[in-house]
Amino acid sequence: MLTSIETSLPADFIINSIGIAVFAVTGVLAGAKKGMDLFGIVVLALITAFGGGTIRDIILDAPVFWVENFSYVYIAIIAAIAAFYLQEQFWKTYKPLLHFDALGVALFNVEAIDKTLALGYGAEVAVTMGLITGIAGSIIRDVLADRPNLLLKKEMYATPIFTGGIVYVTLLIFVPQLGLINAGIGILTVFVIRVAAIRWNITYPKFMQIPE
Amino acid sequence: MLTSIETSLPADFIINSIGIAVFAVTGVLAGAKKGMDLFGIVVLALITAFGGGTIRDIILDAPVFWVENFSYVYIAIIAAIAAFYLQEQFWKTYKPLLHFDALGVALFNVEAIDKTLALGYGAEVAVTMGLITGIAGSIIRDVLADRPNLLLKKEMYATPIFTGGIVYVTLLIFVPQLGLINAGIGILTVFVIRVAAIRWNITYPKFMQIPE
Amino acid sequence: MLTSIETSLPADFIINSIGIAVFAVTGVLAGAKKGMDLFGIVVLALITAFGGGTIRDIILDAPVFWVENFSYVYIAIIAAIAAFYLQEQFWKTYKPLLHFDALGVALFNVEAIDKTLALGYGAEVAVTMGLITGIAGSIIRDVLADRPNLLLKKEMYATPIFTGGIVYVTLLIFVPQLGLINAGIGILTVFVIRVAAIRWNITYPKFMQIPE
């Protein structure tokens, strides 16, 4: 059985909290539409932040993480309300925020892979769960807000997560003794590919796209 | 641990049945579109009636309620077929039906909170489960019927449920000895706010909305 | 308790694999839209192929089948990539493919009913699970690809599955001694009704439709 890095519980909590706050903020910015009220927007932000992890936990038949630790929900609510009232400021810093989102998704991915391995599942299931945790919340948000979801776009969002997941579990299999360094490389892989995709509009080559 | 009111099993069954029948009827009225057939509409009505409670039970890792007691499904099917053939009559009584829906949602909320507390979860999780039970089915119905869902509208639907949930668990914490009176107040809170919202088009104030 | 046919494990694997490959291919053909890339399309194909079975297993609180046997995921990925690069050829053979999909859905239905009965649930739950397994993946795919889903269409897709399910469990109750013959009749019922619906555009009569 693969074993993942031993992260202390406070580290887990901080990593998760950052990811959740970032997802809640992007949930507000991406989901807010004319005519919505604060309540609807906060619910949409919560779905964005918790959707992926909830589906992961349900598929793995593990206790759903925010039911076990409700502080996460408060963090997401506060982040969402802040984003609602500071939307203009957040939009001004949208590019920085996208980078922050890339970091959030990179952390979530490694976290989800660790959790899945710790539950006794194999490397392939773990990579899949990292991907589900990273994209399902945003996809549900876009469906509810009636926007095109990330599967329909050329922009690379899921691919960096998947690539980072493959890199991370490969390291865990072949050089488990590296410990936290493996997690660092896994996180960096997602972050660097995602940021490169944002900066230079990197997409798949034409032969891997449906022609327009 | 919070303990909820002791409702007898027949009372539970009747309360649930009313809520389910009402949701199935509103599912038909809200979801029916040109070109759909009876089979598609009944499935949509079942999703409206059972969607929220199913998601609640899955998140709580409890047996899904309609799998345990399939009579609920028959009740929903009969209500949906009736609504299909009596659509015109139901539309004439749409305002009364909206009030009936408000009662259904109020009953569902208290029921869901009681169930969650009885499973050993805390007050915050219980309020959340009341909300999910009340709104998830309608949201999925609107997504499947390609209509704007309640999160995108100014109309207050989720807020009364949430407020009633807070009121109900607060009473359970501070005056548990009041028993069924607490449930009554919890149900009334949802019903009154929801009916007021329908009657006088109450919405959140401008500073809590996205400007149009 | 109803008992289902005893299928050998290799037979189960082959039946499931055919169904999954077919669903992945139709997922690509139905879901592919301008501007999508290979990654997004493969994810959409996986959701089409595994969505229904995943929801079934979660509702039944059984281990999710593709988490237990990840080979299914590889089969779906290979089928999806093949469909992506051979789209034109697949479209030319779209009518044959529809028949193949009818077979896939017929096999899935009997498989799902057998699984549900084997877990100790009753006949009604089993028929429902056959239906969910057969339609949920396609419905989610259509929502994500922003296309009208099968509930909104007159075309008969869900009805053959449901009818075949009723026929199959009725046979299991009254003539269990017929063994595999029952499964054969259950599969044939779905297949024949579905193919008839495709060939002659059979729909529900007018009084069972919403007028256009």
Average per-residue pLDDT in chain A? 90
Out of A149, A162, A203, whose CB is closest to C144?
A: A149
- pLDDT tens digits along B78-125: 999 999 999 888 888 777 778 888 998 999 999 999 999 999 999 999
> Which amino acid is present at B43?
V
Average per-residue pLDDT in chain B? 90
Out of A32, A33, A38, whose CB is closest to B204?
A: A38
Neighbours of chain C (3+ CB pairs under 8 A): A, B
Instruction: Identify from C152, C162, C203, C206 which residue to disrupt to test chain B contact, counting B C-beta atoms within 10 A and taking the largest count.
Output: C152
Predicted pLDDT of residue A160: 96
Predicted pLDDT of residue A2: 61
Q: How far apart are CA A163 and CA A167, in angstroms?
A: 6
Out of A33, A70, A145, whose CB is closest to B124?
A: A70
Angle of helix A71-85 relative to helix A9-31, nearest 10 degrees?
40
Strand, coil or helix: A209: strand
> Which amino acid is present at A6?
E
Task: Work out the average pLDDT over B188-212.
Answer: 89
- pLDDT tens digits along C14-24: 888 988 999 99
Strand, coil or helix: B209: strand
B139: CB partners within 8 A, 6+ apart: A144, B51, B149, B150, B151
Phi then psi for residue C37, to 5 deg, are -110, 170
Predicted pLDDT of residue C125: 98
Radius of gyration of chain C (CA): 17
Q: How far apart are CA B184 and CA C155, in angstroms?
A: 47
Strand partners, C37: A209
Structure tokens that stand for B71 in this block: 């009579």
Q: How far apart are CA B204 and CA B106, in angstroms?
A: 20
Kindly report which listed range (A199-208, B62-71, C158-167) carries the lowest average pLDDT score: A199-208
Check: CB of residue B3 under 8 Å from CB of residue B177: no
The band of B210, judged by pLDDT with boundaries at 50, 70 and 90, is: confident
CA A115, A119, A124, A129 dihedral sign is negative
Task: Work out the average pLDDT over B12-34.
Answer: 87
Predicted pLDDT of residue B47: 96
**Largest Cα–Cα distance of chain B, in whole Å?**
54
Does the predicted interface ipTM exceed a cut of 0.85? yes
Q: How far apart are CA A49 and CA A94, in angstroms?
A: 18
Taking the CB of residue C86, how many other CB atoms lie within 10 A of it? 14
B159 interaction partners in chain A (CB closer than 8 Å): 39
Q: How far apart are CA C151 and CA B35, in angstroms?
A: 10
Check: CB of residue B148 under 8 Å from CB of residue A33: no
Structure tokens that stand for C6 in this block: 């005893």
Check: CB of residue B83 under 8 Å from CB of residue B38: no
C54 interaction partners in chain A (CB closer than 8 Å): 59
- pLDDT tens digits along B125-172: 999 999 999 999 999 999 999 999 999 998 899 999 999 999 999 999
> Which amino acid is present at B153?
K
Q: How far apart are CA C61 and CA C119, in angstroms?
A: 10
Check: CB of residue B136 under 8 Å from CB of residue B161: no
> Which amino acid is present at A143?
V
Angle of helix A94-118 relative to helix A123-144, nearest 10 degrees?
140
Q: How far apart are CA B76 and CA B18, in angstroms?
A: 10
Q: Which of C28, C30, C183 is nearest to C109 (CA)?
A: C183
- B191-194: long-range pairs with CB below 8 Å, 24+: B191/B102, B191/B103, B191/B106, B191/B160, B193/B156, B193/B159, B193/B160, B193/B163, B193/B164, B194/B102, B194/B105, B194/B106, B194/B156, B194/B157, B194/B160, B194/B161
Q: Assess whether pLDDT exceeds 60 at residue A20.
A: yes
Strand, coil or helix: C17: helix
Q: Assess whether pLDDT exceeds 80 at residue B2.
A: no
Rounded to the nearest angstrom, the gap between the alpha carbon of residue A192 and the centroid of all alpha carbons in its chain is 15
Predicted pLDDT of residue C66: 96
Predicted pLDDT of residue B206: 84
Predicted pLDDT of residue B135: 95
Task: Work out the average pLDDT over A33-37.
Answer: 85
> 71-110 in C: which are within 8 Å (CB) of A?
73
- pLDDT tens digits along A74-98: 999 999 999 999 988 888 877 777 8
Check: CB of residue B41 under 8 Å from CB of residue C210: yes
Establish if C121 touches chain B: CB-CB under 8 angstroms.
yes
Structure tokens that stand for A152 in this block: 């329909």
Q: Where are the domains of chain C?
A: 9-201
Q: Which of C119, C127, C108 is nearest to C1 (CA)?
A: C119
Task: Work out the average pLDDT over C31-52.
Answer: 92
Q: Assess whether pLDDT exceeds 90 at residue A3.
A: no
B58 interaction partners in chain A (CB closer than 8 Å): 58
Burial class (CB in 10 A: 0-12, 13-18, 19+), C13: middle
Establish if A37 touches chain C: CB-CB under 8 angstroms.
no
Check: CB of residue C189 under 8 Å from CB of residue C182: no
Instruction: Identify from A39, A64, A140 which residue to disrupt to test chain B contact, counting B C-beta atoms within 10 A and taking the largest count.
Output: A39
CA end-to-end span of chain A: 45
Q: Assess whether pLDDT exceeds 60 at residue A141.
A: yes
